[in-house]
Amino acid sequence: MNTIEIIHNPFIVETQFLISGQPPAEGCKLSSYKESRLQVWIEKLFDELSQLFNGDNNFEVTFRGVESDYLDVVDAAKVAMGKGMQVTLQFIEADPAEERLTRIRELMEEAKLHPEFEHFIRENADVSQSFEEAFNKDFDVYVVATMSSGKSTLINAMLGQDLLPAANEATTATIARITDNALMGQRFAAQRVTNDHRVAENSDNVSLEVLQAWNNLPDTMRIDIEGKIHAIQDRDSVRLVLTDTPGPNNSQDAKHQLKTMSFIQDSQRNPLILYVLNASQLGTNDDKNLLGLVAETMRKGGKQSKDRFIFVINKMDVFDPEKGEDLPSVLARVKNYLVENGIFNPLIYPVSANLTRLLRKPQHLHSRKERGELNSMMDMFGEEPSMNLLQYMPITERVKRSLQEKKLPEIVLSSGLPAVEAMIDEYIDKYNFPHRVKRAYDAMIKAIAVGLNETQLIEQLDQDEKTLAHINEEILALELRQEQGFDTQAYKDKIAREGKVLPRATEDELATLENASGKYLRSVSERFIGEVEPRIAEMRVKEVEEELQFQYRKLINAYEAVFITSQQVIRDDLQAEYQRYIVDLFKDCQHLKLPILDSLQKAAGDISFNLTIKSDEVQTKRVVIDRYEVSDSSWYNPFSWGSTRTVYKYGEEKSVDLAKLWNPRSTRINTEFARLVVAARTEIDNGKTVLIDQFMAFMGREFETKFNELIDSLKEKMTDRDVRKQALEEARELQAWINQFKEKLDETLAV
């Protein structure tokens, strides 16, 4: 039996492996996972262990960590056992992330009570921003779907009342953002935000009719709604924000579709995506484009990239087992459809949102039709065991426990949606809380480093008068070097000149995007070869036009992401440059912040390629439209009896030369994509220029001011014995407090 101990800390993203009580060798594959999140490597773990032990597949694994991570170990072990491995597991549970976040918040309040330490927090913008993000309770869940998937019905079921318009046609033309607020009772407040970010209308008790009217107004950018989201666990430290997004080809404004796509492409925040599919209607072009984007996003990361996409298979109530409609076969068809679109091992959750909606909707509000639908579905779901949708779902033991604790009626559980809601809670526990805990911890550690730097600097003044006199000489020299070093125009010119070159990492990202774009456009051109009927040409052009619009918007979002990452890279470069120049001047001022700069707010409008068939591209020529055989024998030639000849019937048929059709369009399309590349590079260059300008302003104003303040403070402490003595006492007292505080902070992350 091979014994393996895994100690995984999701908060500092650190893993310890012990093989038979000893850490693995540095060259071992497991060593490369030490600083990676468990979800990145857990699916490969047992195969790696099998190789490590030369095929000896008997493993006894002890896992120490949080439960949500352990459940992923359990899933990986099940897969390994399916391959014939022998795996036994032992779990040593660590405190959950939500408790740790609460303790860090309490420590934050404790820190604010100390005036000196609170000063370090307030003065550092990075620290303040990190705290704001860590303690921001909002957690985003985006509901994405194509037409007729029942998306609005599903959201209404989650809300517990009919609030969003639902029909068998396009209903969501704008973005509706619903923020959970348990204090609202059955009431929902809402406000309509226009394209110029102005609140145009609001309602303290909004109705379906009002929302429908707002949705149809062309200047509506977003509708913000606040109220109780039914069946989502109430927590003090998290607030669910459910966003109903427009379909991919169903919005009044292309910016809305761009936004929907950006939710999917967001691999930084990793928001949860509920992708709703119509179980009875698969295979639309809209789905093909959107699912391709999902597949691409899922391939970029580890398990979290897969976990954050939940495929909700809606309208399962349309199938009737008594008519031979087998649900496992239906779900297998859905899975194959997703696999064909590049999505492997998808998390599929079959639901009847309509059943959940009607069960949660107060009975006295049911229409006659709804009463009939509910009775029919209750009979089918209650009497037919195969209609219990819960049995087909890939839910964890933790989700099963959560559902059992809610003591929901069997018919409600059978509808499937409560399990999806429980999966949202699990995702929050597994990914959102650890991320927030780490952000808060890092922010506090940064403030601690600032405080310790300052106290240690003062402690260095505990010297005799002779040494202090020498330090004073060094300070005078330091002031002189500062004047010569930072105020010279040559230095500013050097920074400005070097600033014209983008960082290597940014150039690599841009090159990757440009290559992918060029490859895609070439593949489109390959679909325009030969001659076809005008009808087929029109269909192909229409299909390609939609695809090109989609790819263009996808590229816009990708460039936005590159801009954001480039800003961080450039900031890091400038920070390094700053430190290189001041390290010999002022080592203890490295905590001075560079300004936090706004990211790109680039208005991305729609672009129309205007791909329409022109009359002069349709040609007329003689073509064979039919053929038949006739007798070629003659009475006077006996040797010709039984022979035949082919007679051709001629007519006219219109055709389109695809290559001639595409060539001029290809030029225009390549030009438009090239313009986007130039525009994106220009924005990134401008972004770097802004950063450099602000950096130079910092060097000229803020740094100089802080530098002079520090120098004056040191001079005073060196020349006045009483001031120095008091400062030393205060510094040592503060340092002792900070060290004790850091010990308590470190305990919040220990596993």
User: pLDDT per residue over 416-452, tens digit each?
Assistant: 999 999 988 888 888 888 888 888 888 888 777 777 7
Q: Out of 243-257, 397-411, 537-551, give the one with best mean pLDDT.
A: 397-411
Q: Which of 109-118, 250-259, 731-740 has the lowest mean pLDDT?
A: 250-259
pLDDT category at 488 given cuts 50, 70, 90 is very low
Tell me the C-alpha distance between 453 and 447, whole Å: 10
Q: What is the pLDDT of residue 594?
A: 23
Identify whether residues 158 and 65 lie together within a single domain.
no
Looking at residue 516, its pLDDT comes to: 86
User: Which comes out higher in pLDDT, residue 246 or 284?
Assistant: 246
Confidence check: pLDDT of 604 > 70: no
215 part of a folded domain: no
Decide which of 469 and 389 is more confident: 389
pLDDT of residue 683: 83
In a domain, 286, yes or no: yes
Q: Is 323 exposed, middle or buried (0-12, 13-18, 19+ CB in 10 A)?
A: exposed
Do 324 and 376 share a domain, yes or no? yes
Residue 729: predicted pLDDT? 82
Residue range 628-640: mean pLDDT, rounded: 36
Query: Which has the higher per-residue pLDDT, 683 or 93?
Result: 93
Most confident of 483-492, 553-562, 685-694: 553-562
List the structure tokens of 602: 């680039």
- Is 408 found in the same domain as 359? yes
pLDDT band for position 647 (50/70/90)? very low
- In a domain, residue 729? The reply is yes
Residues whose CB falls within 8 Å of the CB of residue 328, separated by 6 or more in sequence, listed in order? 392
State phi, psi for 250 to the nearest 5 degrees: -145, 60
How far is residue 81's CA from residue 335's CA, in Å, rounded to a whole number?
A: 23
Residue ending a domain, choose from 74, 94, 114: 94
Residue 170 has a pLDDT of 47
What's the whole-number mean pLDDT along residues 99-105? 86
In this prediction, residues 558-564 reach a mean pLDDT of 83
- Examine the domain organization and report whether 281 and 350 are in the same domain: yes
Model confidence pLDDT, tens digit, residues 196-215? 889 999 999 999 999 989 98
- Give the containing element (helix H, strand E) for 310: strand 309-314
Q: Both 310 and 162 in a single domain? A: yes
Farthest CA pair distance, the chain: 140
Are residues 149 and 69 located together in one domain of the fold? no
395 and 270 fall within a common domain: yes
Q: Please check the confidence at residue 348 and state whether its pLDDT lies above 60.
A: yes
Q: Is residue 123 part of a domain?
A: no
Q: Is the pLDDT of residue 581 over 70?
A: no
- Give the confidence band of 608 by pLDDT, cuts at 50, 70, 90: very low
Cα–Cα distance, 728 to 738 (Å, whole number): 15
Q: What is the pLDDT of residue 172?
A: 53
Contact 276, 150 (CB under 8 A): yes
Least confident of 25-29, 305-309, 492-496: 492-496
Q: Tell me: do 518 and 383 sit in the same domain.
A: no
Domain that holds residue 263: 140-182+228-433
With a pLDDT cut of 90, the percent of the chain lying above it is 21
Determine the distance from the C-alpha atom of residue 160 to the mean position of all C-alpha atoms in its chain, rounded to a whole number: 27
Confidence of residue 538 (pLDDT cuts 50, 70, 90): confident
Q: In this structure, are 56 and 150 located in the same domain?
A: no
- Does the pLDDT of residue 642 top 70, yes or no? no
- Better-scored residue on pLDDT, 470 or 543: 543
Structure tokens at 523: 């593949």
Question: Nearest to residue 703, comparing CAs of 598, 596, 593?
Answer: 593
Predicted confidence at residue 32, as pLDDT, reads 85
Supply angle C-alpha 444, 449, 452, rounded to 5: 120
- Residue 632 falls within a domain, yes or no? no
Residue 644 has a pLDDT of 45
How many domains does the chain divide into?
3
- pLDDT > 80? residue 295: yes
Residue 124 resides in a domain: no
Q: Which of 531, 530, 529 is nearest to 619 (CA)?
A: 531
Q: Please determine, for residue 264, whether its predicted confidence score (pLDDT) is greater than 90.
A: no
Q: In whole angstroms, what is the distance from residue 538 CA to residue 561 CA?
A: 35
HEC states along 609-662? CCCCCCHHHEEEEEEEEEEEEEECCECCEHHHCCCEEEEEEEEEEEEEEHHHHH
Looking at the DSSP bridge assignments, the partners of residue 8 are: 15
Q: Which of 436, 395, 434 is nearest to 71 (CA)?
A: 395
Residues of the chain with pLDDT > 70: what percent? 78
* Mean pLDDT to the nearest integer, 261-273: 82
- CA distances (Å), origin 358, targets 376, 415, 430: 12, 11, 31
Question: Minimum mean pLDDT among 411-415, 489-493, 524-528: which range?
Answer: 489-493
Position 565 pLDDT exceeds 90: no
Specify the pLDDT at position 549: 81
Weakest mean pLDDT among 223-232, 582-591, 609-618: 609-618
pLDDT for 600: 19
Q: What are 137-182's pLDDT values in tens digits?
A: 888 899 988 767 888 899 999 998 888 887 544 445 678 899 999 8
d(CA 520, CA 532): 23
Kindly state the average pLDDT of the residues 92-100.
Answer: 88
φ/ψ of 64, rounded to 5, equals: -115, 120
Asked if residue 628 has pLDDT above 90, the reply is no
Q: What is the mean pLDDT of the chain?
A: 78
Q: Mind listing the pLDDT tens digit for each residue in 368-401?
A: 999 999 999 999 998 899 999 999 998 888 888 8
Residue 271 maps to which CATH number? Answer: 3.40.50.300
Check whether residue 326 and residue 178 sit in a common domain: yes
The tokens for 129 are 């921003």
Do 518 and 408 reside in the same domain of the chain? no
- The alpha carbon torsion through 82, 84, 85, 86 (nearest 10 deg) reads 90
397 plus 474 within the same structural domain: no
pLDDT reading at 269 higher than 50 = yes
pLDDT in the model for residue 499: 54
| 177 strand-pairing partners | 224, 243
Report yes or no on 47 lying in a domain: yes
CATH number of the domain to which 69 belongs: 3.30.420
End residue of a domain, out of 407, 433, 459: 433
Choosing from 412, 433, 454, the residue where a domain stops is: 433
pLDDT value at 29 more than 80: yes
Q: Tell me the CA end-to-end span of the chain in Å, nearest whole number.
A: 26
| Domain presence at residue 562 | yes
Q: Calculate mean pLDDT across residues 448-466.
A: 71
- Whether the Cβ atoms of residue 431 and residue 310 lie closer than 8 Å to each other: no
* H-helix segments, 5-149: 38-41, 45-52, 67-82, 97-113, 115-123, 125-134
Contacts of 184 (CB under 8 A, 6+ apart): 226, 227, 228
Model-wide pTM > 0.75: no
DSSP-H helix ranges across 526-616:
534-582
In Å, how far are 102, 149, 214, 310, 315 from 348, measured between CA atoms? 33, 15, 33, 7, 14
